[in-house]
Amino acid sequence: MINPASRLNSIELSLIRKMFEVTNPNAINLGIGEPDFNVPENIKEAMKRSIDENDTHYTPNKGYLDLREEITKKFKKENGITTTPEDVIVTVGASEGLYMCTQAFVDKGDEVLLPNPSFLSYEACVNLAGGTPVSVDCKMENEFKLKAEDVQEKITNKTKAIILNSPSNPTGAVMDKEDIKAIADLSIDKNFLIISDEIYEKIIYGKKNYSPAKYSDNVITLNGFSKTYAMTGLRIGYLATTNEDYTEQLLKIHQYNIACANTTAQRGAYEALTGPQDEVKKMVCEFQKRRDLIVSRLNDMGYETVNAEGAFYVFPKIEDENFVQDAAKAGVITVPGVAFGSNGENHVRMSYANSYENIEKAMDILEWMINNG
């Protein structure tokens, strides 16, 4: 057997995907982070037309110009970010954007600050780039929100970047404006990069998403269409900078890895941005009802649960180390919180990207399990 590259020694396969792949088909899956809605019809029709018109050839490396122009308009109108189509790159999902950022900017020995808990891909991408992940605690007493003062304590002369994610996977936390702005100010004062993963920005309840790129030029903003428009399998995302030098370095990774994003998905993405947003509003409204249900039921069972303000996850405190296995046997799939960092210990991530009825059934099963355990 040929030995793998040493950089893979610290990388484990995703525990989320493992849970997904071994799932009993009859179990209620609260483990996977994927909207249970279908792609809106207008987006489907746009993609069908693109195929019928033989729009299946290479696009510019950065993506179709008209799509990048719409992304630029979206950033200006919704996020207060001034960028240009030349500083936007259409990616194969936000995941590729994250990988591009770490490969382009993180060297061996560079420290990258990560919220703890946070999405497990962040640490893996930093490790693959040879960087050193540095944990910043997101405490339950702060509703798992990343606080600027905690970030400041972890900054050293080796700090190269921080990865932000608001709304957050796995906790549903939405950062406060003052913390976003303070971290943006720190990025200028201490000269480090902010990689801002805003893939859940539209899935937010009674709050507003704030982009650090509004306050600092040391920011790469990641976003996409997977969560907002239920386009997960189409793998279409984007990133933007306000610095052409940053864009050029990112393009080197994208060009030699991907060449360009899927043409059909790009046409669907253009329609997603320019077409009606009614289905998005309906989806977010339904997610909020489900959030209210799952938080209420878990708290009633004695599992302390923060009232998550965004995304479609809750992160209840569950100290039973056998809970995930017992729940799976009973017919409910969840993910152990420790998969997202040491502060996930004694927590479990549950996704409410499942029907209201299925969530009710899942909570009934868990309640039965508690009462008969």
Integer Cα distance of 267 and 275 in angstroms = 12
Q: Are strands 193-197 and 159-165 parallel, antiparallel or unpaired?
A: parallel
Tokens of 142: 């702060």
pLDDT tens column, 292-347: 999 999 999 999 999 999 999 999 999 999 999 999 999 999 999 999 999 999 99
* Residue indicated by tokens 């849970």: 19
DSSP helix, strand, coil percent of the chain (3-state; round to 5): 45, 15, 40
pLDDT at 134: 98
Q: What is the largest CA-CA distance in the chain?
A: 61
- Cα–Cα dist 123/158, whole Å: 17
CA end-to-end span of the chain? 46
Residue 23 is predicted with a pLDDT of 56
Name the token pair of 281.
Answer: 């509003």
Rounded Cα gap, residues 33 and 227, in angstroms: 9
pLDDT at position 10, please? 78
pLDDT, position 4:
85
- For the four alpha carbons of 104, 107, 110 and 114, in that order, the dihedral sign comes to positive
Q: What parts of the chain have a pLDDT lower than 70?
A: 14-24, 373
pLDDT for 16 equals 58
